[in-house]
Amino acid sequence: MEALGQTKIIAVDKTGTLTRNEMVLQRVYVDGKIFEITGNGYEPKGEIVFEGKVIDPLNHLELLFSGKIAAFCANARSSFIKETDSWKIIGDPTEAAMLVFSEKVGFHHNVLEDESPKIFELPFDYSRKYHATVHSVGDNNFLTVVGAPENVMELCKNIWHPASSSPDGRDGVLLLSEDRRKELKAVFHKLAKGGFRVMAYAMNSGVERSINPLAPPPLTFVGFFGMSDALRSEVREAMKKVKDAGMRVVMITGDHSLTAEAIAKEADIWRQGDIVLTGEDVDRVSSEELARKLVHASVFARVSPAHKMRIIEAFRSRGEVVAMTGDGVNDAPSLVAADLGVAMGKIGTEVAKEASDIVLLDDNFAGIVSAAEEGRGIYKTIKKVIFISFLHEYGGSISDYRRACFRIPATSGRRANYLAQLCYRWFSQCRACYGAQGEWAHARKV
């Protein structure tokens, strides 16, 4: 608590700390069309809206194809809790949003898995930034990939078009030209600026039973999923308290820089003149240059656990006291490296909790601010106690020193060994100050 009271920089993850951690898939871009998906939370109910009108997804092949890919790449599961009258998920929130979308367009995950069993999976990785699965569909092995648009699109050679037939490819597939890539990037950037977490999805309908991650087969681009995770209602008020207390918040996220900037503006973290640093930016600069850039950097996007370590070390090299939030196994090194590690109590792994100094039970950013205020109160009290004790001991020691040097008799009339009293007072004072500093140093993990 005392260490948190001295914190100057609070580095927070976006998802779950600033937001509700309820990822909802609200936009689908496929075959040049943007569909709006309605609904609340993880409840598998909602309508599909196209050009302002509610439509039946069964009449739109592109929606059904998108829903099937979403279901294939979703390992999360949802269930209804009667006690709380709410839907809960087990697994990654992003994949949970994809699962719920697939259910809204009519798919049942268990039935789909029985009919088209999964035969291979390549889990999401920070270096690849995509998740891939291979399912047995009829006589073919059907590869589906969902991940960061810039990474997925780099692997795509074709684009899916359900009603096309071209000499460049078989029915349903066209070559992905450079002009078309630019159009897709424009759509991607527009969604990201709207604050959506954008995931690209692609496929290949004829692959082997497994794929080599170092040499993946060429993909056919299908579309984008746009997901939203609403800010917690108390975040803006908490940000005001942080600034009033002289602290600064920086946001660290795996989202695209445009999405991160939009969320940071909404949360009142990003201000005019601030910059956004990506993981690639961090890799390109030296530690000294990174430390200089931190003065104006309030958002870090597309970062990996290794990038988090460098960011924390750069802040500490500037003499800043840093509190870091984290929830995953890969966050453990940065939680240890920070002056104060704060783990998430609900979504955090046991490894992250063990590596942290504080566990935030409700995963709420406002709780960090409240703890910082309490910590500052405790630290101020400790300083006052030490200062008053010093004044008291200093005054008594001067009196003892005067008596010992000039042999002035004690006012009580009793003879005393004034030199022994002097030594005892100074020894007690030094021991008290050393003990207080030792406790403070231990709290900061120095």
> pLDDT per residue over 404-422, tens digit each?
555 555 544 444 455 555 5
> pLDDT per residue over 358-394, tens digit each?
888 877 777 777 777 777 677 677 777 776 666 655 5
Please calculate the CA angle 303-75-207 and round it to the nearest 5 degrees: 90
Residue type, 279: G
pTM for this entry: 0.79
13 an active-site residue? yes
Residue of 122, 138, 141 lying closest to 130 (CA atoms): 122
Q: How far is CA 376 from CA 11, 194, 236, in A?
A: 18, 37, 21
Higher local confidence (pLDDT), 284 or 433: 284
Residue of 416, 437, 409, 340 lying closest to 12 (CA atoms): 340
Residue of 92, 14, 9 lying closest to 252 (CA atoms): 14
Q: How far is CA 393 from CA 164, 379, 414, 429, in A?
A: 90, 21, 21, 7
Question: In a 3-state reduction of DSSP, which class is residue 316?
Answer: helix
The pLDDT value recorded for residue 78 is 87
Segment 94-107 mean pLDDT = 95
CA–CA distance, 372 with 126 (Å, rounded to integer): 32
Phi, psi of 8 (to 5 degrees): -110, -30
Residue at token pair 């984290």: 326
| Residue 202 bridge partners (DSSP) | 145, 221
| Res 29 pLDDT > 80 | yes
Segment 305-329 mean pLDDT = 89
The pLDDT value recorded for residue 445 is 38
Residue of 9, 23, 37 lying closest to 255 (CA atoms): 23
**How are beta strands 197-204 and 140-147 bridged, if at all?**
antiparallel
> pLDDT per residue over 106-148, tens digit each?
999 899 999 999 999 999 988 899 999 999 998 899 999 999 9
| Res 240 pLDDT > 80 | yes
Higher local confidence (pLDDT), 69 or 170: 69
Question: In a 3-state reduction of DSSP, which class is residue 8?
Answer: coil
| Res 201 pLDDT > 90 | yes
Report the 3 state secondary structure along 121-183: EECCCCCCCEEEEEEEECCEEEEEEEECHHHHHHHEEEEECCCCCECCECCCEEECCHHHHHH
Domains in the chain and their CATH numbers?
1-21+231-446 (3.40.50.1000), 22-228 (3.40.1110.10)
Q: Between 418-444 and 365-406, two packed helices, what is the crossing angle to 10 degrees?
A: 160
CA–CA distance, 240 with 242 (Å, rounded to integer): 5
Question: In a 3-state reduction of DSSP, which class is residue 48?
Answer: strand
Higher local confidence (pLDDT), 373 or 282: 282
CA–CA distance, 232 with 182 (Å, rounded to integer): 35
Length of the chain measured in residues:
446
Contacts of 300 (CB under 8 A, 6+ apart): 250, 251, 252, 253, 260, 276, 277, 278, 279, 282, 307, 311
